[in-house]
Structure 1
Amino acid sequence: MPKIERGAFLYLVLFLLCFALAGCEGEKTSGPRNPEYENLKIVVEGDLEEPREITVGEMRALPRKELNASLTRTTGLLEEFKAAGPTVKDVLEYLGIDYQDYKGIGFTGRDNYYCLVTPEIMAERELILAITIDGDSELPEELQPARLCVQGEHGPYWVKMVDRIVLYEEIPEKDITSVWVFKNLAEGIEPYPYEYYGSKDDAIELAQIFSRFDNVDSKAFFTMKSADGFKKNEAINMVSQRYYIKVTGEDAPVNMAPNIKLGMNVAHIAWFSTNEDAAIFPEEIVQLTGEQQAGAQKGISLQAILEEVGLFDLEEKQFEVIGTDGNSVKVSGQELNKGLLLINADGTYPVIWQEGAGHKSVDNLLRIRSI
C-alpha cells in the first residue's frame, strides 16, 4: 500500500476509534444490561383513574437529560456527581399523563422517604429521574430504581430509590387560624430520646402535637421552613406516625423519622404548619423576621410572625393573644405590629406592647388565634 494511502487509512481508523470512544464516554457498559435492574418499576398513582407503571428499561428509551448535579445537604455538605435520565415530564407523557394537569407531585423511595414537589418548583425546576450516575448505567442498590434530581434545591428534594410517584390535581389551601409557641405547646409531653450522630437528644412526636391542635385535615400538607429559608412539604399521613421534632442537641430543632437519612433532615426549623395551625421556634424564626425595638428591649413583631407563617389580610381580623397561664389580650389585626415577642434567657416568651398601645403584657405566650 502506498505511503499516502496507508497514512490516510490510519487517520480514518483513529478517527473512527475516537468517535466510538466519545459515544461511549457518557455511560459505562460492559456487556448486556442487568435484566433485574432494567425491569425494576416505578408506579405512578394518585389522582388517576388507575395506577400506571414504567420500568427502568422503558425510561432508558426516553429522551435523556444530562446534568452536572450539585446539591447541598442540610448538614452543609456539598455533593456533586454526573446524572442522566429522563425528565419526570417525559415519563408522565410516555404514560399518557399531562404534567401540566397537576399542582403537586410526591416522590417516595423504597425506604418510604417522601417529598412533595410544589407548583413553584415544578414551574421553575426541571425534574430528572437519574438512572445513570457518574457513567454507571446501573445504579447502586441504595439508589435503585432511580434518583430524583432537582438542581437548585436542597438535599431533601433529591429523593433516592424512587419507586412511587403520587400526582395531586389540587394542593389544599391552608387557612391558618392559630400560631403556637412550640415549647409551650409541647409542655407535658414526654420526650423521646432520639439518636443523632452518636448523641441521644430529646425529641417530641408530632402525633402528640397534632392531638393538641383543633383540627388536622389528613388530606392537607405539613410544611416546614428552616431559619435559612429552606421550605419542605410532606403529606400529613407521612408525618402522623413515628415522626419527631428533635428539640435539643445539634441542629435542633430538626425533623427526625426512621426513613429520613442523616443529612436529609430540615435543620433549625423556624416554623411548621398543618392546615389550620402553625408552631414557631422563636430563636429560629427571628432569623426570618428580624427584630424591632420597643424602648430598651428588642423583640419579634407579632405581625411579622403571623405573616411569615402564612396569615394574610390581618387588618380585617381580630386576634386573641393567650399566655400559658390562661390570661389573654384581644387585639385587632391593625394593632399586631405594636406587639413584640421577647426571647428570655429563662426560656419564657413574653409579649410586650409599644408605648400607647394600651394592652397588658402576656408573661409567656402560648398561642395567637384568630377570633
Structure 2
Amino acid sequence: MARLAGLRLADLDRKSLERYDPNDDDDGTKFVSEIPEHAAERVPPGQRVTRRWPVLHEGRVPRFDSETWRFEVRGSVEEPIELTYDELRSLPAGEVRSDFHCVTGWSKLDNVWTGVPTKSLLGRARPLGTAAHVSVVGERNYTANVPLEVLSEDDAILAWGHNGEDLAPKHGHPLRLVVPNLYGWKSVKWARRLDVMDRDKRGYWEVRGYHNRADPWREERYSYQELS
C-alpha cells in the first residue's frame, strides 16, 4: 500500500510540473532555490517553496450552476443547514492568511483566503456532543475526513477567494475548504457538504494509502506511518 501511494504521489508531482500555467506565476520560477530567512520556520520537512500554484485534483473540473448549487451541513448536528450560493456569499466573510503544503512536496506561502470560517457555519449547525469528525464532501462525492476540532480553528475557512480574486475553477471555484495545518488534499476543492460524524471515516485518498491525520510537520504522508 505504501509503495502504491508513493507511486501516485510521484506521478502527481510529475504531472503538476508538466501542467504549470504561466499565468499563475510572474517570474517563471518553479521552485525557490533558497527559502527566505523569515520564512524558513514555516516550511515543513521535505517541502520546497513554489511561487506558482500547481494544479492537482482527482477527475475533471466540474461545471458550476449557481441556480442548482447548494452547500449543506448535516449529520450529527442540531440544526442542519442548506444554502444557495447567493445565501452563502451573503454570510459574514473573513480573511485568513496562511501557508499551503501539498503532500507532493511543494509549499506556497502567504496565501490570503476570503470566505466563511468553518467554525461559524458549524456554530450555526450546532454539532451534537458526540460529534468528533467531519467528512468534507466535494463534487462527485470526493471526500476527505477532518477532525471537528481542526475545522473549529480560526484559520480553517470555506473560501471563494484567493489573494483578492475569485478562485479559478481549477483551484476550486465556487468553494473550497482550506485547512492550512494539514496536507493540501484535506483542503477539498468544489466543496458541497460537511457531514458531521460521531466516528471517523476515511476519505478518498485515505483509503488509498494516504495518512489519516496528514500533519505536514510530522511528514504524515502515508498510512503505513500510522503503525509506527
TM-score by length of 1: 0.36
Task: Check the 8 A contact 2:101/2:180 in 1, yes or no.
Answer: no
Structure 1 pair 62–71 and aligned structure 2 pair: CA distance change class (3 A): same
1:136 maps onto 2:90 in alignment: no
* Contact map agreement 1:59 1:85 (CA 8 A) in 2: no
Q: Distance in 2 between matches of 1:112 and 1:156?
A: 14
Aligned to 2:71: 42
Deviation at 1:111, TM superposition (A): 4.0
Contact 1:42/1:54 (<8 A) preserved: yes
Which structure is larger by alpha-carbon Rg, 1 or 2? 1
2:134 is paired with a residue whose SS is: strand
Q: Contact (CA 8 Å) 1:125, 1:150: kept in 2 or not?
A: no
One-letter amino acid of the structure 2 residue matched with residue 55 of structure 1: T
Number of the residue aligned with 1:59:
88
Which of 168, 171, 175 is 1:146 aligned to? Answer: 175
Which residue number in structure 1 is paired with residue 126 of structure 2? 98
Residues 330-349 of structure 1 correspond to what in structure 2 (within 5 A)?
A: none
SS in 1 for 2:125: coil
CA positional deviation for 1:129: 0.4
Q: Does 1:267 align with 2:218?
A: no
- RMSD between aligned residues: 3.4
Please say if residues 56 and 131 of structure 1, whose CA atoms lie closer than 8 Å, have aligned partners that are also in contact.
Answer: no
CA deviation after TM superposition for structure 1 residue 108, in Å: 1.2
Structure 1 residue 138 displacement after superposition: 5.5
Say which structure is richer in strand.
1
Distance in 1 (CA, whole Å) between partners of 2:66 and 2:168 is: 8
Q: 1:89 aligns with which of 119, 125, 149?
A: 119
Q: Distance in 2 between matches of 1:119 and 1:112?
A: 19
Distance 1:132 1:164 in 2: 18
- The aligned counterpart of 1:157 is 186
Q: CA deviation at 1:149?
A: 1.2
Please report the TM-score for the alignment, with normalisation by the length of structure 2.
0.55
Mapping of residues 164-179 of structure 1, within 5 Å: 164-168=193-197, 170-171=198-199
Q: Is 1:108 matched up with 2:137?
A: yes
Aligned pair in 2 of structure 1 residues 38, 68: CA closer, same or farther (>3 Å)?
farther
Structure 1 residue 146 displacement after superposition: 0.8
By how many angstroms is 1:123 displaced? Answer: 4.9
Q: How far has the Cα of 1:112 moved from its partner?
A: 2.9
Runs of 4+ with deviation above 4 angstroms: 48-51
Say which structure, 1 or 2, has more relative contact order (CA 8 Å, 6+ apart): 2
